[in-house]
Structure 1
């Protein structure tokens, strides 16, 4: 019960403390600033140069959203790699987990801090949204849904990356594993992958692999459609990654490292 007499869920103060701690760690070092600068440069570069933004003669952000999954596949594991690996490397994980808060608060706090940085990175592309409104009359609702999909995809990669970061004290190893898993999730539903699998595995297994594709789920948001199954898919990946990160890191309490 708070001082105002309102009910405060168990772990909420610890969650807020971890979010503040992690955001401080990001922004008091060059990490967040370098990440934001890299994203702010790379996202428009893909859209303008690779996606040929001006050659489409369309007032929308389709070139940006088309290349965001490939950018997020690399940058999100880079943002997630320090979450738990750095704690293990510095020997501070035992101190963090000995604080009077549940495991979920520590794990969710780390995720929310990193997801906030990812959200700021996506916000850095908003000038492009303003530009297309100046150039024409885009479907702003569809663009908003596209940004929602990008934020959910970023969250899924972050949650999985943080779970992998809890496995090792080496941030480079955590990054490589995160990129590999993000790559597999992205590529799973592509035709050449399912075509290659269809010749050697049962059809139900090919269909199962195709349904695992984050790129296929993201495509609906990219087209301005927010479907419930796709929302559930991304939120399940996020919940699973955050839970796994907490459980793996929590093994330290029993002597694991």
Structure 2
């Protein structure tokens, strides 16, 4: 068994060792259903698609994903087990990747459990399932980017609440960068190229494109590179803390 797999299995099992994991999944499913069928006006729209479902995903992740990522390293630092973990025969990068993949798999399980909504829209109409599948892929990639940010910020503190707040704030700013109101304000005082550059840094911009069924390689690479950047930053932060 590879070191990454060992850390992955250990971390994933730890999520389901307490009721917190089940509470998280239930809350996510309830909110996903509520935002789709009530706040999203699913029935009023009269269209067989899941656009209302995916439109709320960035905002659901904004609060729920930091709750998952806040414990990744903050708990290890608070309990002192981070020193034990890093003395095992594995590299720091393997430890970071294993913990991240476990958290990503956990969120992926929660996302997969929303499949009854997909079945419902197929029962009620004839949706473009290719678009829905692309949106699911985009949602999972965006969740991974949120988690990578959370993993890095969790490594900066021993306090899980602080890690939660920092992650929520940073992710909110990354979402806000692609919000039309913000982009219009930037265009009013800065060149169009500058506004476009800000928009390209936003999770919302890239996810919205994928959610429409356009699985552009540039959007996929954005999330992959974002995940890689924040995980690398996480290893740097842990190395600095270890040196202290």
Q: What is the TM-score when the length of structure 2 is the normalising length?
A: 0.96
Candidates 189, 196, 209, aligned match of 1:220: 209
State the match for 1:169 in structure 2.
158
State the match for 1:3 in structure 2.
none
Q: Deviations over 1:166-198 (max 9, x none)?
A: 000010010001001111111102222123334
**Quick check: which has more Rg, 1 or 2?**
1
Candidates 46, 52, 65, aligned match of 1:63: 52
Q: Contact 1:103 / 1:247 at 8 angstroms: preserved in 2?
A: no
- The unaligned stretches of length 5 or more in structure 1 are 1-11
Candidates 2, 7, 11, aligned match of 1:22: 11
State the match for 1:152 in structure 2.
141
Q: Contact 1:145 / 1:222 at 8 angstroms: preserved in 2?
A: yes
Q: Deviations over 1:127-154 (max 9, x none)?
A: 0111111111111111000000000000
Q: Contact 1:86 / 1:169 at 8 angstroms: preserved in 2?
A: yes
Report deviation, 1:200.
4.5
Q: Distance in 1 between matches of 2:84 and 2:240?
A: 13
Q: What is the TM-score when the length of structure 1 is the normalising length?
A: 0.91
State the match for 2:75 in structure 1.
86
Candidates 76, 82, 100, aligned match of 1:111: 100
State the match for 1:233 in structure 2.
222
Q: Distance in 1 between matches of 2:4 and 2:182?
A: 41
Q: Distance in 2 between matches of 1:133 and 1:143?
A: 11
Q: Is structure 2 residue 188 aligned with structure 1 residue 206?
A: no
Q: Which runs of 4+ in 1 moved over 6 A?
A: none
Q: Distance in 1 between matches of 2:85 and 2:214?
A: 41
Report deviation, 1:209.
1.2
What's the Cα RMSD here? 1.4
Q: Contact 1:85 / 1:166 at 8 angstroms: preserved in 2?
A: yes
Q: Which aligned pairs between 1:4-43 and structure 2 lie closer than 5 A? A: 13-43=2-32
- The total of aligned residue pairs comes to 244
